[in-house]
Structure 1
Amino acid sequence: MRLQLRTAAVITVAMTSLLAACGGADKASDGANPGAKAFTYSGSDRDTYLADCAKEEGTLTWYTSLAGDVIDEMIAAFHKKYPDVRVEAFRGDETDITSRVVEESKADRLQGDIIELSSDAYRQLADTGAIGAFSTPLSSNYSDRFTLKDDDGNILGIGDRASYVSFAYDKDKVPAADVPKTLEDLLNPNLKGKLALTDSTTGVRFIGNVLTKLGDEKGRAFLEKLREQDVRIESVSGSALAGMVATGEVASSPGVFRNHVQQLAKDGNPIEWVPIEPVTANVGYAGVFAKAEHPCSAMLFIDTLLGPTGGKVYEDLQYPRPDDDLGFTSWVPDETFDSTKEYEEAFTTWQDLFEQTFR
C-alpha cells in the first residue's frame, strides 16, 4: 500500500506543468503587472504610497497552508489598520495550493497576490518564476538562513513562522523515566506498543530526520529496530494525532507539533512535548506572486506578516519566528539540498523507506 499523500511527486508533476504553462522561469516574470514596482518601492514615503495605492485596489487574495484561528486573527489584525482593503484567503495544504497555482497559471488567471507556504513547496514554486522579488525594511530582522534569494540577491521569500515536530506523550500513560531524550531512547522496551506516527508528510519527514541525524547506514539499522517497537501508523493529520495523544487513545508519538501540544495542554489535557534534537522544523515562507493584481495591498500584508503585528498573532497561537531561540537545534528538511530536484529525490527515498519500515 502506498502512502495516501505523495507530496514531493505531486509537486514535481505540478511544477513541470507550471513551467510549461508559463514558458519557464524567465518568461513567467515578463508579463508581471506594471504595478508590481510596489514590490521594491523604497522611497521615504513608502508607507503612505502603499496605503494610498492599496486603498484604490481595495482587495487582495492570500494563498496559505496555515490552518485554524491564525488565518482569521491575521486578517483581523490587518483590517484593523487597513479597513479599506478586503482580504480573501484560500487555505490548503501544499498540494492544494500548488495545484491551484498550476491551473490558474495555465489559464493565465492567477488569482493570488501573496502566498504563505511551507518551505519545500515554496522553494519549488519560486523555481518556476511564479514568485516575485520584493523588498521590505523588515527583512533586516530575519537571518540569511530564512531568507530565500534569487541568483541576483533579490528576496523571493522570508520565513515568517515555524512549527516544530518532536515527541509528545500522555503523562498518564508514559512515566517521566521513560520519556526519551534522544532518538535511540525511542528503542526503550518500555515504549513498545506505545508509539505512533502519522502516514502524512510529517511521518515521512521523521524518516528524513533519522537518516540525516544518524547517516544512511546507521539510520536504516535504527529504523529496523524501531519497527520492532510495534509503532502504530495513523492516517490522520498532525493536529488529529496530537488530539489522540491528549485523550489517551495514543500513548505517545515522535511526530507531533509543539504548537498543537501547547494548545491542548492549555485546555487542561495531560499532554507534554519534549524536543529530540534536531527537531524537525516546518517553516512557512511569505512572499508575493510575480503577476499579483494588487501589489500594494500585497506588500502591506507582507509587512503585517513579517512585522510586530503579525508576530503578536503568531506568538499568541504558539507559532514562533524561525529565528527565535527555543533552546533546541532544528532541522528544516529541504534546506540542506542544493536544488529542489535533489530534495524531491530524497523525499521519495524517505517515503519508500517509511512504507518498507512500517507497512
Structure 2
Amino acid sequence: MLAASSLMRRLGLAAVLLPLAGSLPVSAQSEKELYEAAKKEGSINWYTGFVQNQLVRPVVANFEAKYPGLRINVTGGRDIDIMIKILAEAKAGSLQADLVEGPSVVKPLREAGLIQPYVPEAAAKLAPNHKDAKGDWNAVLVHYLVPAVNTELVKPADEPKSLDDLLDPKWKGKIAWTGEMTIAGPPGFIGSVLNAYGEEKGMAYLEKLGAQKVATIPSNPRVVLDQVIAGQYAIGLVTYNHHSAISIAKGAPVKWLPVNPAIGAMAREVLLKGGPHPNGAKLLINYLLSPEGQKVIQEAGYIPSNPAVDAKDPSLKPEVTGFKVFSPPPADEDRDIDKWIAIYKKLFQ
C-alpha cells in the first residue's frame, strides 16, 4: 500500500476531512437491538482484502444464515485498491463502505477522519495488542509471514534456515515477494531486518538482498505463493504461513519455513464513520469477533484472534513451533512504515 500521506496527497483529501467531533466510541447495544436496527438498513457493504473463496464466502454464508433479512455486499481486492476507493468515496461525499479490514488501513483512515470508534463486547476477550483501547480497530485474525519454498525446486538440505541463507548466490533471481506496501509486505520485512540486526548491519544486509534481484509481484502474498507453487520462483519471501498450510492440505508442493524473525500482522477491522449501514456493520464486527465467527475463521484455515479459539493447525503459531516474531505495536508501525517504504524504493525498485 502507498504510504498514508501519499494516499492523502494523491486524492487531495487534506481539505475534506470529516469532523472529528462526535467520534467517541459507539456504545454497546444488545445483539437483538443491533439486529432489529440492521434489518431496517437491509444490507452491509464490506470492503475486504480477504481471499474470497477461502474466507469471505464462508463468513457471508454463515452470517446471512444467522441473521435473515441481511445481505452482505462484498467489495474485494488489494489493500491499496480498496483504500483508494474508500478515500475517493469520502472525497466525493458519497461513502459506500461500512467497514474495512487490513494490516495497514488504520493510519490513512485515521488521517482522513474516517474511523468511528467502536468497542464490541467480544473485544474483551482479545489480548491488549489485538485491539485499540479507544475502539478504533479490533483484530479479527492474526497472520505470520515467513518464507515459503517450492519443494520440487528446493531440496530439504538447501532450505534457508536463516536470513543470511537467502543471500546464497544460487537464489539470485529466484525469490519473489508482494508489491503491497504494508506490514505484510516488503516494508514489514525491512522493518524486521532492521529490528533484528540494528540500523547499520540491517542496511548492509538489505543492500546484499537487493543484489539478489528479488522479483516484486504486483499482487498480494497469496498470488506470490501461487507463483511459487507453480514453479515460477523457488522462494516466496513474505508469505502467510496459513496459506501454505491450506495449499499443503490440497497436495501442493510447498513448505513454509520458520525463519527468524517471522512478521506478525493483524487484520484490523474498522468501522467507518459515515457509512450507510452502521448497525449492520457493528453486527458484522460483533459476529467476526464472537466464538461463532472465530470458528468460521478457524475452519477456513486462518488463525483466530480470540485466544479461546485455537488455530486449526496450531503449528502455525510461534508459541507452538518456536519461531520468533517481529510484531511492532501499531503506533510504531504507523510511525516507521514510510521509512521502510523509502528503503524499499531505494534498494529494490
TM-score w.r.t. the length of structure 1 is: 0.82
**Which amino acid in 1 is paired with 2:332?**
F
Partner SS state of residue 105, structure 2? helix
2:207–2:347 Cα contact (<8 Å) kept: no
Q: How many Å separate the matches in 2 of 1:192 and 1:116?
A: 35
Number of the residue aligned with 1:108: 93
Q: How many Å separate the matches in 1 of 2:188 and 2:170?
A: 25
Q: Find out whether 1:140 has 2:140 as its counterpart.
A: no
**Which amino acid in 1 is paired with 2:119?**
S
C-alpha displacement of 1:104: 2.0
Q: How many Å separate the matches in 1 of 2:140 and 2:201?
A: 34
Number of the residue aligned with 1:11: 7
The structure-2 alpha-carbon separation of the partners of 1:13 and 1:162, relative to structure 1 and needing over 3 Å to count, comes to farther
2:151–2:255 Cα contact (<8 Å) kept: yes
C-alpha displacement of 1:137: 1.4
Partner SS state of residue 233, structure 2? coil
Q: Find out whether 1:337 has 2:332 as its counterpart.
A: yes
Number of the residue aligned with 1:196: 176
Number of the residue aligned with 1:346: 339
Number of the residue aligned with 2:238: 255
Number of the residue aligned with 1:40: 27
Number of the residue aligned with 2:312: none
* Equivalent position to 2:253, from 255, 270, 273: 270
2:294–2:306 Cα contact (<8 Å) kept: no
Q: How many Å separate the matches in 2 of 1:129 and 1:336?
A: 17
The structure-2 alpha-carbon separation of the partners of 1:76 and 1:169, relative to structure 1 and needing over 3 Å to count, comes to same
Q: How many Å separate the matches in 1 of 2:213 and 2:290?
A: 42
Number of the residue aligned with 1:124: 108
Q: How many Å separate the matches in 1 of 2:45 and 2:179?
A: 31
Number of the residue aligned with 1:167: 147
Partner SS state of residue 155, structure 1? coil
Q: How many Å separate the matches in 1 of 2:86 and 2:169?
A: 47
C-alpha displacement of 1:158: 0.5
Q: Find out whether 1:49 has 2:33 as its counterpart.
A: yes
Partner SS state of residue 88, structure 1? strand
Q: Find out whether 1:73 has 2:58 as its counterpart.
A: yes
5+ residue gaps, structure 2: 308-316
The structure-2 alpha-carbon separation of the partners of 1:239 and 1:7, relative to structure 1 and needing over 3 Å to count, comes to farther
Q: How many Å separate the matches in 2 of 1:169 and 1:181?
A: 12
2:122–2:289 Cα contact (<8 Å) kept: yes
CA displacement, residues 268-298 of structure 1 (integer Å, 9 cap, x when unaligned): 1221001222211331111212223322212
Partner SS state of residue 337, structure 1? helix
Q: How many Å separate the matches in 2 of 1:92 and 1:354?
A: 27
Q: Find out whether 1:297 has 2:280 as its counterpart.
A: yes
The structure-2 alpha-carbon separation of the partners of 1:196 and 1:85, relative to structure 1 and needing over 3 Å to count, comes to closer
C-alpha displacement of 1:198: 3.9
2:242–2:303 Cα contact (<8 Å) kept: no
Q: How many Å separate the matches in 2 of 1:232 and 1:126?
A: 33
* Equivalent position to 2:157, from 162, 172, 177: 177
**Which amino acid in 2 is paired with 1:265?**
I
Q: How many Å separate the matches in 1 of 2:119 and 2:176?
A: 43
1:244–1:250 Cα contact (<8 Å) kept: yes
C-alpha displacement of 1:193: 5.4
The structure-2 alpha-carbon separation of the partners of 1:138 and 1:85, relative to structure 1 and needing over 3 Å to count, comes to same
The structure-2 alpha-carbon separation of the partners of 1:108 and 1:200, relative to structure 1 and needing over 3 Å to count, comes to closer
Moved over 6 A (4+): none
C-alpha displacement of 1:131: 0.9
Q: How many Å separate the matches in 2 of 1:197 and 1:94?
A: 15
CA displacement, residues 221-276 of structure 1 (integer Å, 9 cap, x when unaligned): 22233345x34414343222212221323222322221221222122122100122
* Equivalent position to 1:205, from 188, 213, 221: 188
Q: Find out whether 1:320 has 2:316 as its counterpart.
A: no
5+ residue gaps, structure 1: none
Partner SS state of residue 165, structure 1? strand
Number of the residue aligned with 2:311: none
TM-score w.r.t. the length of structure 2 is: 0.84
1:283–1:332 Cα contact (<8 Å) kept: no
C-alpha displacement of 1:170: 1.7
Partner SS state of residue 162, structure 1? strand
Number of the residue aligned with 1:286: 269
Partner SS state of residue 269, structure 1? coil
Q: How many Å separate the matches in 2 of 1:313 and 1:88?
A: 18
2:143–2:240 Cα contact (<8 Å) kept: yes
Q: How many Å separate the matches in 2 of 1:287 and 1:193?
A: 38
